[in-house]
Chains A and B, each alone.
Chain A
Amino acid sequence: MTKPVTLNVNGKKHTLETDPDAPLLYVLRNQLALNGPKYGCGLQQCGACMVLLDGKAEPSCMIPVTAVTNKLIVTLEGLAKADGTLHPVQQAFLDEQAAQCGYCLNGMVISAVALLKAAPNAGEQTIRQGMQRVLCRCGSQARVLRAVKRAVKNKPR
């Protein structure tokens, strides 16, 4: 049975009919047509589906949609400014060309945004720990590390 659920996604409220058990990921992708969060494992093991829940990076592939009705949800699409200016973390990834196929980029960027919010001066070890949950098969991690370090360096002062 479906029921109406209200979500706050990227600064907008959306009320939609959904199975209350449905994981957030399916609702974001299929009902709100968002492409940022990706299906990777459905097991909270790979990080492809990361979103920001009240500023923290969390996988969206298992958490039921009804568990996040009181959270501020931000996806990859919600990071750039309305005028198209990229978030400093996105810009750093672009500058470092930190991807190959790009499928893991969502998890990488979302995790880095949350990490730098919690630890604006993060060093090597903190960055690695903060990114640990996200897998990349192309081996872009070295570039991702450079991108996150660049974002630390470029942070607004």
Chain B
Amino acid sequence: MNTGRRNFLKSIGSLTILFSLDHTHTLASLLPADPELPGILQRVPAINAWLEVLASGSVRVFTGKIEMGQGLCTAVAQVAAEELDMEMRQVEVIISETNVTPNEGYTGGGSSTETSVLAVRYAAAAARKELMDLAAQALAVPAEALLMNNGRIAAKQGGRAVSFYELLNGKKLTGEVKLPLTVKRKEDYRLSGKSVKREDFRQMITGQSMYIQDLRFPGMVHARTVRPPGYQSMPGKMDEAALAKQIPGLLKMVVNGGFLGVICTDEYQAVKAQRYLEANTRWDVITPPRSTKALPEQLKELQAQTRTVKTPALPFPEDRVTLKASYSKPYIMHGSIGPSCAIALYHNNELEVWTHGQGAYPARDTLSRLLGIPAASIHVKCVRGAGCFGHNGAEDAAAEAALLAVAYPGKHVRLQWSRAEEHAWEPYGTAMCMELAAVLEPGGRISHFRSDVWSDAHSTHPGGNPELLISANYLARPFIRKPNPVGGGGYRNADAYYNIPNQTVTAHFFTGPLRVSNLRSLGTYANIFALESFMDELAAKAETDPFAFRLMHLEDARAKETLFRLQEKVSRLPKEKNTAIGIAFSRYKNNAAYSAVAAQVTLDPATGKATVKKMWCVADAGEIISPDNAVNQLEGGMIQAASWTLFEEVKFEGGMVTSRDWASYPIIRFSDVPEVEAEIIQRPGEKLCGIGEIVMGVSAGAIGNAVARVSGKRVRDLPIYGTR
């Protein structure tokens, strides 16, 4: 196998991404800055791990994160082109790939900007310094008297210009990214902080090869898997001879314990084989004990491990409680529009895997342990998939493609999950319950706040542990799943950012009936829905306006400004019959970006149906690389959150998921999509924060509050259109 960068890239050349941008080039002066280096640069300080100069006059930038629609590639190209005074079209971006990009673990937490984009900015700044020093030698001109422009360096006075490539003479950059480091002054930015058009957009809109589903290799064969009826079902009887009679293009049926796959020359043949086996395979179903109770009560019955998150100065005065309320959210799916897909090739004891999973290196480590193949003999390349919003079936599919490829060596095996597989087998965002209580002082201020959260795990990314892959649990030699880890994400934003002197926060971690992992914003979605609903309920008790009530509990000026600006947008709207506004605020993780959201909801008095008409968001995420892309994330976040909040609930019975398509698990359609408006408060001097996950909880809170106002009915158990 060839793990060399260039050759491998050449073989999938159609998927590399180039950017272009028309702009009037201006040169910026440089001043020293004193940035803190992201942790990844301390582990991977070599400039050439991040950036490579190409003979074509372009640079190639390596990010260990993946592009999943969040605009990472554009942001990476923007900051690299900025520091190197190039055009964006001269920057090629490669996403997570073993032996090619740095190992940045998994992509998630809305944090790829906070880590990878900053790392590339500093790597590009360090590259600039090295190139300038080389040019100073080559041209015998002091570095201060040189000018860098579009991949070439010349004396400011004019004269001969040398290209980056000539300066390196075919060699790589040798320096390291370390402090002190000179980066461009933010006031001199011409790209960063400006809205640039995503050039991948033209590729997308004209149907060029972009996604994992679009990869085609000569001789590639097609695979499908056949699932047991539930998580714990064990192998039944399969008849390969009968299958072969039905399916002329059958190349192989792979049976490994309860893992069942078919490989055919033609994709539709594989679909037919899958259907045949689904109809003709007997499974020994192991039904888990049923709970007689519905969610959320069912969750509180589960054995839980308790963790004290926050202990107050003064104990909670049980006898003086003003308000207690219980909230819940059901299991929610990632619901990627493109079901998981992967391609694997096993040849000469080497394994190559193409995946839309969230990190190439963790996937390699998991595959190595699953298959007993040394990590050095496994090459994993991340390719774009449909938006995933967390850990969905991608890594499972990659492992299954690898299992099939090992059983059928020498060919690229392409596995495509069906819609039903993606719906029923992905790891969901866990169901949660939140019990809140508070004491209001006579002046209307909250003196005590108590939050009890029940949650399953929010991250079960395999990261080297095959037992977290679904199929690995029912192989002939299974990897047995352990109870889920305690902590991480369940109590994210369970403690209020508000200025409340005594806060008690306790988390109760259970291992629930359904498979779970990280979904956009983890526990914040449920915790902020509960907290912000509760704040409105408390404001009503205090007979205070929801804006004023929140503002009186906030001291942070940036937090207040998001609310002030939101108030400006919605306070002067004309009053309409059967219409109300609800608001919510949070600071993500209580230490990152701020957001305030308002939702306008109308009630049809005839049907009783509440409709979200419009949503507004004001966000402050510090420095912003691409404002339009950030607005896109906020708008999309509000609409996705509206979908979760109004419609979504994974249904299951007897250990089997019954939400298996878009009819049994509806998500928002155009008829229900609200108008959305997002405003960003840009603070170039402040720390850059991820923006991808920040509006999920606040959107739910705002919608719930608007529904309560317009209908007089407080919905505490999501979804709002649910039956409970």
**Partner-B contacts on A (CB < 8 A):** 1, 19, 21-23, 26, 29-30, 33-36, 38-43, 45-46, 48, 75-77, 79-80, 86, 90, 93-94, 97, 99-106, 109, 127-129, 131-132, 134-143, 145
Q: Which 6 A-B pairs have the closest CB atoms?
A: A101-B69, A139-B639, A139-B636, A36-B207, A103-B386, A101-B387
Enumerate chain A residues within 8 angstroms of B214, measured Cβ to Cβ: 35
- Tell me the bound Cα distance from A21 to B629 in angstroms: 43
From B210, B216, B271, B338, contact of A48 by CB (8 A): B338
- Given A33-B216, A101-B384, verify A41-B661 contact (CB < 8 Å): yes
Add 20 more A-B contacts to A29-B267, A48-B337 (CB < 8 A).
A19-B266, A22-B268, A35-B209, A35-B210, A35-B214, A40-B419, A43-B662, A93-B201, A94-B201, A94-B202, A102-B69, A102-B205, A104-B337, A104-B386, A128-B670, A131-B670, A135-B662, A137-B640, A139-B635, A139-B638
For residue A61, give the distance in angstroms from its CB to the closest CB of chain B.
10
Q: Is B169 an interface residue (CB 8 A)?
A: no
List 22 contacting pairs A-B, 8 Å CB cutoff, sorted by A: A19-B268, A39-B339, A39-B416, A40-B339, A41-B662, A42-B419, A43-B661, A48-B337, A79-B206, A99-B204, A100-B70, A101-B68, A101-B337, A101-B385, A103-B387, A135-B662, A137-B334, A137-B386, A139-B636, A139-B637, A140-B639, A142-B674
- Tell me the bound Cα distance from A126 to B266 in angstroms: 40
Which residue of the partner chain B has the closest CB to A142?
A: B676
How many residues of B are counted as interface, with CB atoms below 8 angstroms from the partner's CB atoms? 63
Enumerate chain A residues within 8 angstroms of B267, measured Cβ to Cβ: 26, 29-30
- Given A86-B206, A102-B210, A103-B338, verify A97-B632 contact (CB < 8 Å): yes
Q: Is B276 an interface residue (CB 8 A)?
A: no
From A42, A77, A103, A128, contact of B337 by CB (8 A): A103
- Tell me the bound Cα distance from A154 to B418 in angstroms: 39
From A30, A33, A35, A138, contact of B387 by CB (8 A): A138
Enumerate chain A residues within 8 angstroms of B607, measured Cβ to Cβ: none
For residue A44, give the distance in angstroms from its CB to the closest CB of chain B.
10
Q: Is B139 an interface residue (CB 8 A)?
A: no
In the bound complex, do residue A99 and residue B207 qualify as a contact, i.e. CB atoms below 8 Å apart? Answer: no
List B623-678 residues whose CB lies under 8 Å from chain A.
Answer: 628-629, 632-633, 635-640, 643, 661-663, 667-671, 673-676
For residue B276, give the distance in angstroms from its CB to the closest CB of chain A.
13
Enumerate chain A residues within 8 angstroms of B206, measured Cβ to Cβ: 76-77, 79-80, 86, 90
- Given A36-B207, A94-B197, A105-B205, verify A100-B419 contact (CB < 8 Å): no
- Tell me the bound Cα distance from A77 to B71 in angstroms: 23
From A40, A42, A99, A141, contact of B639 by CB (8 A): A141
**Cβ-Cβ contact count across A and B, 8 Å cutoff:** 168
- Tell me the bound Cα distance from A99 to B629 in angstroms: 10
- Tell me the bound Cα distance from A145 to B639 in angstroms: 13
From B201, B207, B676, contact of A106 by CB (8 A): B207
- Given A35-B210, A86-B206, A94-B197, verify A138-B636 contact (CB < 8 Å): yes
Q: Is B211 an interface residue (CB 8 A)?
A: yes
Q: Is B198 an interface residue (CB 8 A)?
A: yes
In the bound complex, do residue A46 and residue B662 qualify as a contact, i.e. CB atoms below 8 Å apart? Answer: yes
Flag B223-257 by CB within 8 Å of A: 1 or 0 each: 00000000000000000000000001000000000
Which residue of the partner chain B has the closest CB to A31?
A: B266
Q: Is B362 an interface residue (CB 8 A)?
A: no
For residue B171, give the distance in angstroms from its CB to the closest CB of chain A.
38
In the bound complex, do residue A109 and residue B205 qualify as a contact, i.e. CB atoms below 8 Å apart? Answer: yes
Enumerate chain B residues within 8 angstroms of A45, measured Cβ to Cβ: 419, 661-663
Q: Is B336 an interface residue (CB 8 A)?
A: yes
- Given A35-B208, A137-B387, verify A100-B69 contact (CB < 8 Å): yes
- Tell me the bound Cα distance from A97 to B208 in angstroms: 17
For residue B358, give the distance in angstroms from its CB to the closest CB of chain A.
13
In the bound complex, do residue A139 and residue B640 qualify as a contact, i.e. CB atoms below 8 Å apart? Answer: yes
Enumerate chain B residues within 8 angstroms of A104, measured Cβ to Cβ: 337, 386
Enumerate chain A residues within 8 angstroms of B335, measured Cβ to Cβ: 137
For residue A87, give the distance in angstroms from its CB to the closest CB of chain B.
9
Enumerate chain A residues within 8 angstroms of B418, measured Cβ to Cβ: 42
Enumerate chain B residues within 8 angstroms of A127, measured Cβ to Cβ: 670
- Tell me the bound Cα distance from A106 to B197 in angstroms: 19
From B213, B662, B673, contact of A141 by CB (8 A): B673
Q: Is B389 an interface residue (CB 8 A)?
A: yes
Enumerate chain A residues within 8 angstroms of B205, measured Cβ to Cβ: 76, 86, 90, 93-94, 99, 102, 105, 109
Q: Is B116 an interface residue (CB 8 A)?
A: no
For residue B227, give the distance in angstroms from its CB to the closest CB of chain A.
15
Q: Is B269 an interface residue (CB 8 A)?
A: yes
Enumerate chain A residues within 8 angstroms of B676, measured Cβ to Cβ: 142
Enumerate chain B residues within 8 angstroms of A102, measured Cβ to Cβ: 69, 200-201, 204-205, 210
For residue A148, give the distance in angstroms from its CB to the closest CB of chain B.
10
In the bound complex, do residue A105 and residue B268 qualify as a contact, i.e. CB atoms below 8 Å apart? Answer: no
Enumerate chain A residues within 8 angstroms of B204, measured Cβ to Cβ: 99, 102, 105
Residue of B70, B204, B248, B667 most packed against chain A (CB within 10 A): B204
Which residue of the partner chain B has the closest CB to A19?
A: B268
In the bound complex, do residue B632 and residue A100 qualify as a contact, i.e. CB atoms below 8 Å apart? Answer: yes
- Given A101-B68, A102-B69, A142-B639, verify A23-B632 contact (CB < 8 Å): no
For residue B263, give the distance in angstroms from its CB to the closest CB of chain A.
15
From B207, B667, B674, contact of A35 by CB (8 A): B207
In the bound complex, do residue A34 and residue B207 qualify as a contact, i.e. CB atoms below 8 Å apart? Answer: yes
- Tell me the bound Cα distance from A105 to B49 in angstroms: 34
Enumerate chain A residues within 8 angstroms of B667, measured Cβ to Cβ: 135, 137
For residue A106, give the distance in angstroms from its CB to the closest CB of chain B.
7
For residue A132, give the distance in angstroms from its CB to the closest CB of chain B.
5
Which residue of the partner chain B has the closest CB to A45?
A: B662
For residue B669, give the distance in angstroms from its CB to the closest CB of chain A.
6
- Tell me the bound Cα distance from A38 to B632 in angstroms: 23
- Tell me the bound Cα distance from A125 to B302 in angstroms: 47
- Tell me the bound Cα distance from A29 to B211 in angstroms: 13
For residue B130, give the distance in angstroms from its CB to the closest CB of chain A.
35
For residue B418, give the distance in angstroms from its CB to the closest CB of chain A.
7
From A22, A138, A142, contact of B675 by CB (8 A): A142
For residue A142, give the distance in angstroms from its CB to the closest CB of chain B.
5
Enumerate chain B residues within 8 angstroms of A46, measured Cβ to Cβ: 337, 419, 662
- Tell me the bound Cα distance from A147 to B353 in angstroms: 37
Enumerate chain A residues within 8 angstroms of B269, measured Cβ to Cβ: 19
Enumerate chain B residues within 8 angstroms of A145, measured Cβ to Cβ: 670, 673
- Given A30-B267, A93-B205, A104-B337, verify A141-B670 contact (CB < 8 Å): yes
- Tell me the bound Cα distance from A142 to B549 in angstroms: 31
